[in-house]
């Protein structure tokens, strides 16, 4: 069935022509559009279902792109994309060459600031507002903060910096039960209508001006009136913290009442101080499965829109799932083990641990720096904290890994999920971490090839009294260990020869060891004998085994990481002064890698097993070694 209202919306200005009833119908049509696209392509469903009315209200009142809408965490901006002329393009979400799931200044003039990580909107918006003031420019700057990002340290740093730098800045706090509080009722709503009304604020300004002109006592009276107003609001309205930071606080208001939000947004345009509007929304609203399980539907793959179930059905256990099982097993036998995550309990596989050991589980919210130092503090007191974190988010806490964990040689285990490329693009690819981490003192870095190795590495790392990082990709772990499997210690710092051969040695890290085996199979059809080595340890590295191979045959490396700073660099550094037979690297360069499907990205980059095998035949091996497969 055609979307009668949505079909009319080609730009934000079109919203201003709609009646209140039409906007309510539009919200329903947009929700249907979100479910239709995300069920086919995957993406972030629950956050966007919750901001439909909010986004309609924002674009109905403000005039983007002259007014700057700065979204915190771009995954709550799908509706914004649909309303800013990208409806058809949005249907290519997460596809190769299609719509990015986050914000990009290159994609649209309406995306005023790129957003992939949480906590940036207030700082970026303040920068825009200050630049506007200095240039004596026009336009409002509105930062939309949500999905728990207010508890980021950078958000508080920015809040503390606003009042002294601009009087014209708006923050919309999208409170979807991931941050602050519920609506406090009709009285606060009534009071908010009063304090946001233009007539009230004009009268307030006029009255203050008159009273201040009273000789000797004018300013004293205005101060006392101000204190009375703030005292009244502190009783009836939440937000005293924001008031103390120099903001005018408005809210909470219903984030699904378009008319109420439009009245509020229109009313605050003339405020002469920074303002925070506290909006209450429901994550997943309008789609029952997402309402009941907002964490599950935060970000997901393709699903059946009728049931909400994954259409791919059961699959090989992911690395995240194996990690979740393994840490529960470890905690069963080690009472000092604790688990820490930064707002990603389900994504990192810690849901079961949180239920089984609630007193040993800590979700610190989107505060990665705090997670690292919090773990370090626990480690000083005899506990063995295990931090589960995505590679892209670990980047936010690198100073604390170095300063508070590594320098003190504290036994903190960091399980780094989502290493390697992912569908979400440059802000989320986990390919940069080795460049940052390898030179940190006292730090070991392990890369399991499959679920069995991940499990063994976790148990072995527990026995080490030093910092350890275990890095693994998203998706299938190839093999999954079971409770009956023996827990065998992984030889520390030793690589594993997976197949013998004499023509070329392929060293691979992590799951790419299985890519190397595929390459080996292809090359064997041309008579090439391949040795495949699962490096396992990036630090300490098995230098002796590498030198032994490099003296006899060429060496190739395969890694789902940047070659510069990764396995390729390690091998180059070791062999630079040796008489080796040649070195060839397969991984990622320093160019920005776009978003898309994993298979599509790898194929475009020439990073499939077939591509690597063909390149090795072309570059690395003499023609005399190659046998015609016929």
CB proximity list for 392: less than 8 A, separation 6 or greater? 116, 117, 418, 427, 428, 429, 430
CA distance 450 to 473: 10
pLDDT of residue 27: 94
Active site residues: 283, 368, 396
pLDDT of residue 17: 92
Q: Which one, of 498, 621, 508, lies nearest residue 570 by Cα?
A: 508
Place of tokens 């499997």: 485
pLDDT of residue 190: 42
Q: Roughly what angle, to the nearest 10 degrees, separates helices 543-550 and 567-575?
A: 70
CA atoms in the 13 A half-sphere facing the CB of 571: 30
Chain segment 566-601, per-residue pLDDT in tens: 999 999 999 998 888 889 999 999 999 988 888 899
Q: Is 419 exposed, middle or buried (0-12, 13-18, 19+ CB in 10 A)?
A: buried
The whole-number average pLDDT for the span 281-309 is 79
CB proximity list for 421: less than 8 A, separation 6 or greater? 429, 430, 431, 560, 588, 593, 598, 601, 602
193 or 241, higher pLDDT: 241
Question: What are the φ/ψ torsions at residue 562 (nearest 5 degrees)?
Answer: -65, 130
| Structural domains in the chain, sorted by start | 6-184+240-288 (3.40.50.970), 197-237 (no CATH), 319-471 (3.40.50.970), 496-625 (3.40.50.920)
Helix, strand, or coil (residue 533): strand
Least confident of 177-186, 329-338, 386-395, 399-408: 177-186
DSSP letter string over 468-491? EEEE--SSB-SS---TTS--PPPP
Chain segment 503-544, per-residue pLDDT in tens: 999 999 999 999 999 999 999 998 899 999 999 999 999 999
pLDDT grade, residue 481 (50/70/90)?
very low
Chain segment 429-450, per-residue pLDDT in tens: 999 999 999 999 999 999 999 9
Is pTM beyond 0.75 here? yes
Question: What are the φ/ψ torsions at residue 384 (nearest 5 degrees)?
Answer: -120, 80
Cβ–Cβ under 8 Å, residues 329 and 84? no
- Name the percent of the chain lying above pLDDT 70: 85
Of 91-95, 213-217, 463-467, give the range with the top mean pLDDT.
463-467
Chain segment 188-221, per-residue pLDDT in tens: 444 445 445 555 455 555 555 665 667 765 666 6
* Mean of pLDDT over the chain: 85
CA distance 303 to 310: 4
**Residues paired with residue 68 on neighbouring β-strands, in sequence order:** 141
CA distance 471 to 469: 6
Angle at 376 between CA 374 and CA 379, to 5 degrees: 115
Strand order in the sheet with 504-508: 496-499, 530-534, 504-508, 555-562, 583-588
pLDDT at 626 over 80: no
The whole-number average pLDDT for the span 353-374 is 93
Helix, strand, or coil (residue 604): helix
Of 95-99, 367-371, 383-387, give the range with the top mean pLDDT.
383-387
């Amino acid at each position: 069935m055609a979307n009668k209202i949505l079909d009319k919306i080609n730009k934000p200005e079109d919203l201003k022509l709609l009646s209140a009833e039409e906007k309510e119908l539009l919200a329903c049509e947009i929700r249907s559009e979100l479910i239709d696209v995300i069920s086919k392509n995957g993406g972030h469903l629950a956050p966007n279902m919750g901001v439909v009315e909010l986004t309609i209200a924002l674009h109905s009142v403000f005039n983007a792109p002259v007014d700057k809408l700065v979204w915190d965490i771009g995954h709550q901006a799908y509706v914004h994309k649909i309303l800013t002329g990208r409806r058809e393009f949005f249907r290519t979400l997460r596809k190769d060459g299609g719509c990015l799931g986050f914000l990009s200044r290159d994609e649209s003039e309406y995306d005023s600031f790129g957003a992939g990580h949480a906590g940036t909107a207030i700082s970026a918006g303040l920068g825009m507002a200050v630049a506007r003031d200095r240039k004596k420019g026009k336009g409002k700057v509105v930062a939309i903060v949500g999905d728990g990002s207010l508890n980021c340290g950078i958000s508080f740093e920015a809040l503390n910096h606003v009042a002294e730098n601009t009087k014209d800045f708006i923050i919309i706090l999208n409170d979807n039960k991931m941050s602050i509080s519920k609506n406090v009722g009709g009285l606060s709503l009534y009071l908010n209508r009063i304090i946001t009304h233009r007539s009230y604020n004009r009268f307030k300004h006029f009255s203050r001006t008159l009273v201040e002109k009273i000789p000797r006592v004018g300013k004293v009276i205005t101060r006392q009136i101000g204190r009375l107003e703030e005292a009244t609001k502190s009783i009836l309205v939440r937000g005293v913290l924001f008031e103390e930071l120099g903001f005018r606080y408005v809210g909470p208001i219903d984030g699904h009442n378009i008319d109420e939000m439009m009245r509020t947004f229109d009313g605050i345009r003339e405020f002469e101080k920074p303002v925070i509007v506290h909006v209450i929304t429901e994550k997943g609203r309008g789609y029952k499965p997402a309402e009941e399980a907002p964490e599950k539907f935060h970000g997901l793959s393709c699903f059946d829109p009728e049931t909400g179930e994954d259409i791919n059905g059961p699959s090989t256990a992911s690395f995240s799932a194996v990690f979740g099982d393994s840490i529960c097993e470890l905690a069963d036998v080690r009472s000092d083990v604790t688990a820490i995550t930064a707002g990603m309990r389900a994504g990192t596989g810690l849901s079961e641990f949180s239920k089984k050991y609630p007193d040993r589980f800590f979700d610190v919210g989107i505060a990665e720096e705090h997670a690292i130092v919090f773990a370090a503090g626990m480690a000083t007191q005899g506990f063995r904290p295990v931090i589960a974190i995505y590679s892209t988010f670990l980047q936010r806490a690198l100073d604390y890994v170095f300063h508070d964990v590594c320098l003190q040689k504290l036994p903190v285990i960091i399980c780094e999920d989502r290493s390697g490329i992912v569908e979400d693009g440059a802000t989320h690819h986990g390919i940069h971490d080795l460049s940052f981490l390898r030179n940190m003192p006292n730090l070991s870095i392990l890369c399991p090839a499959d679920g069995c190795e991940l499990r063994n590495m976790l148990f072995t790392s527990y026995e080490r009294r030093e910092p350890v990082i275990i890095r693994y990709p998203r998706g299938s772990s190839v093999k999954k260990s079971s409770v009956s499997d023996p827990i065998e210690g992984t030889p520390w710092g030793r690589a594993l020869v997976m197949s013998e051969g004499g023509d070329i040695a392929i060293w691979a890290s992590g799951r790419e060891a299985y890519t190397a085996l595929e390459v080996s199979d292809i090359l064997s059809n041309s008579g090439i004998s391949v040795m495949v080595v699962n490096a396992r340890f990036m630090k300490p590295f098995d230098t002796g085994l590498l030198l032994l191979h490099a003296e006899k045959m060429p060496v190739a490396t395969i890694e789902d990481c940047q070659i510069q700073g990764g396995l390729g660099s390690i091998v180059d550094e070791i062999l630079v002064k040796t008489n080796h037979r040649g070195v060839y690297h397969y991984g990622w360069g320093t160019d920005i890698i776009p978003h898309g499907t994993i298979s599509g990205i790898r194929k475009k980059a020439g990073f499939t097993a077939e591509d690597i095998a063909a390149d090795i035949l072309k570059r690395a091996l003499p023609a005399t070694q190659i046998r015609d497969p016929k």
